[in-house]
Chain A
Amino acid sequence: MALINPKKKEVQVKLVYYGPGRGGKTTNLEHIYDKFQNRIKGKLTAIKTYGDRTLFFDFLPLDIGVVKGYNIKMQFYTVPGQVKYKATRRLVLRGVDGVVFVADSMALRRQMNIVSLMDLKENLATFDKDIFKIPLVLQYNKRDLEKEGIRLLSNETLEKDLNQELKAPSFAASALKGHNVVETMKKAISLTVASLQEKLELKG
């Protein structure tokens, strides 16, 4: 849940990038950080303790500026996608306000996307959050691999597998190349901040 400080006129919003391991969640944040680092006051903090895999999480703070008289401070997190870090994933979801689900477009990862989305649904439920109600954006990542001859799932298949019921906004993207990375983030921020509008007005 967003932390609203009426005295300081400040809101902290938590947005989590979720999805299967090696799906490109960290690459999304790295792209944003690399591209806009002169405008981002905070630092991308990657806590990596084992090889180059995200075992805990990456964290990127981003000040949006003033909206409705409140200074909006976004906090982006990624979660470890590996099955064995389920407990950490759940912890990172605590207090989440919005989610970007980064699916891997590779045909070989079809089942893992579905498993990971189910995992998200279950973990949100432990915090009394409904996947159908929380601001959610889907990203179908790694579209660039098609040029390398790697078999990818079509957008239609991904929509059918993951978004048939959710009907969330979705983007075909390439985090490595930066395609639709910013668009995904912008959509997630606007959906999430809009979901807080009522609370901001009440506090204001």
Chain B
Amino acid sequence: MASKKNDTFNAEVTGRLSELFSENDISDNAANHKSPADPQEFPFTNLKATLLSIEWEITDDILNELIAEINRLKEIYPDNKIIFSFLQLHGSVGKYIRSKKVTAHPDSINLLHSIYGALEKVAVSPGMSEAEERRILSAEVDKFKALKEQIILAQKSAARKMEIQPPEILKSLAQTHKISQQEPDAGILPAQVTTPKSRQALSMEHAVPPDIADATAMQSPDIAGPDTKPLPAPEVSPKSAQEYLVFALEEIKKLIKTEFEVLREDLKLLKKNE
């Protein structure tokens, strides 16, 4: 009896689903991705496989594999200026990601994919004119420059935030102790806020580590012109206990904000569906 009930229920559900997902009157908009070339002959297959696997949680091994593959390809194409320049771009971005890991700018991963897409386009089109190849390369160099600017801006903005704004917890501490703005207690507030000058001194003090320096010392492709510079060095981490506290507070604030936004969305959806 129960089994019969189940069968009826399942049949009803299956019927609804078949109706809903029937192939009649639909427009298939699914992407139609074409393989560029025979994988056996295509020299960039390994590079593509490694690029596709790059993730936030990626290990050093995978990133080292990427750099090694780029170096291997560079040895194959020393005389092909365009391909070599693409590989140099890959190398610069790859080294930047390796040095920054999960904190790398998310667009850097997209840029790697974009550069690869352009490289593949050039590589599978033997009849393409050099002017066209240069145009495609220049477009990627422009994206590289744009990302570099974004990273520099983000670093400046983050540094300014840390320099100017005292953390909320310190503000509330000040209120608790009834410290007026006119009479700041030098022992509590100003001493804990890094001034622009001291921040600069800190940056100078902590030189860029050798591996990161190596990543940023990468020369831009010749084709890109003399004004193209490597990706900026990753931000130097705060070193003092106070700076760690400020950094941790910012992270906690971001996390709480994120979680609240998710909750708000949940509530909105619930209200909407009520």
Contacts and interface: CB of A to CB of B under 8 A. Distances in A.
Contact of A177 (B33, B45, B269): B33
Interface in A69-127: 72-73, 75, 82-84, 87-88, 91-92, 94, 106, 108-109, 112
A191 to B, nearest CB: 10
Contacts of B21: 36, 182, 185-186
Contacts of B261: 56
A204 B265 CA distance: 30
B13 A22 contact: no
Interface in A45-72: 47, 50-53, 55-57, 59, 62, 64-68, 72
B33 A190 contact: no
A149 B263 contact: no
A92 B30 CA distance: 27
Given A148-B45, A149-B45, A150-B52, A38 B29 contact: no
A64 B20 CA distance: 7
B20 A36 contact: yes
Given A35-B28, A56-B261, A82 B57 contact: yes
B258 interface: yes
A133 interface: no
A88 B28 contact: no
A189 interface: yes
**Chain A, interface SS category:** mixed
Interface string B38-66: 01101001001110110111000010000
B140 to A, nearest CB: 17
Contacts of A92: 262
A98 B239 CA distance: 46
Given A73-B273, A87-B259, A148-B45, A108 B28 contact: no
Interface string B170-195: 00000000000000000000000000
A39 interface: yes
A67 B30 contact: no
B234 to A, nearest CB: 17
B228 to A, nearest CB: 22
Interface residues of B, number: 50
Contacts of A68: 9, 12
A34 interface: yes
A185 B16 CA distance: 13
Contact of A65 (B19, B35, B40): B19
B60 to A, nearest CB: 14
Contacts of A178: 28, 30
A20 B261 CA distance: 23
A20 to B, nearest CB: 7
Contacts of B269: 59, 75
A40 to B, nearest CB: 9
Interface of A: 3, 12, 20-22, 31, 34-36, 38-39, 47, 50-53, 55-57, 59, 62, 64-68, 72-73, 75, 82-84, 87-88, 91-92, 94, 106, 108-109, 112, 144-145, 147-151, 176-178, 182, 185-186, 189-190, 193-194, 197
